[in-house]
């Protein structure tokens, strides 16, 4: 990987997840929906010329892996959930620059009908 981040990136948007994440015991017991966006920075020069999947990242692996992870996870915070997602992505692609936005779609707060999300970056200098 070069010293600076490539301007090329793969964006995977609106991955629907169901996870047992929340401070309330009910959230961890029944689960709830989350949405995940992922950005993977990658040099696309080679793949744009040879059109070979082996020259880039197979993003279907990311989608399938984080969906499988979400069914198994049980934790209190979306911050912890996001860390587990990063670990999963790094196990697939190595320590590449990446960013995720993880949105808890319906946090159970009286009088609040919005969502809450965390945005995190990793391996970005």
Pick the CATH number of 9-122 from 3.30.1130.10, 3.40.50.300, 2.40.50.320, 3.30.70.20: 3.30.1130.10
pLDDT digits 0-9 by tens, 42-61: 888 888 888 888 888 899 99
Task: Please tell me the pTM assigned to this model.
Answer: 0.90
Per-residue burial over 102-111, b if 16 or more Cβ lie within 10 Å, else e, is bbbeebeeee
Confidence of residue 65 (pLDDT cuts 50, 70, 90): very high
Placement of tokens 């970056």 in the chain: 121
pLDDT digits 0-9 by tens, 7-39: 899 999 999 999 999 999 999 999 999 999 999
Q: Where are the chain's structural domains?
A: 9-122
């Amino acid at each position: 990987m070069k010293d600076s981040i490539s301007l090329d990136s793969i964006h995977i948007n609106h991955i629907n997840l169901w996870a047992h994440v929340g401070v309330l015991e009910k959230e961890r017991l029944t689960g709830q929906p989350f949405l995940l966006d992922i950005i993977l920075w990658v040099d696309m020069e080679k793949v744009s010329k040879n059109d070979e999947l082996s020259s880039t990242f197979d993003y279907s692996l990311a989608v399938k892996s984080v969906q499988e992870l979400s069914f198994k996870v049980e934790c209190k915070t979306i911050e912890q959930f996001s860390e587990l997602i990063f670990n999963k992505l790094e196990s697939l692609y190595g320590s590449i620059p990446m960013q995720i936005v993880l949105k808890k779609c319906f946090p159970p707060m009286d009088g609040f009908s919005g969502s809450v999300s965390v945005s995190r970056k990793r391996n970005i200098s």
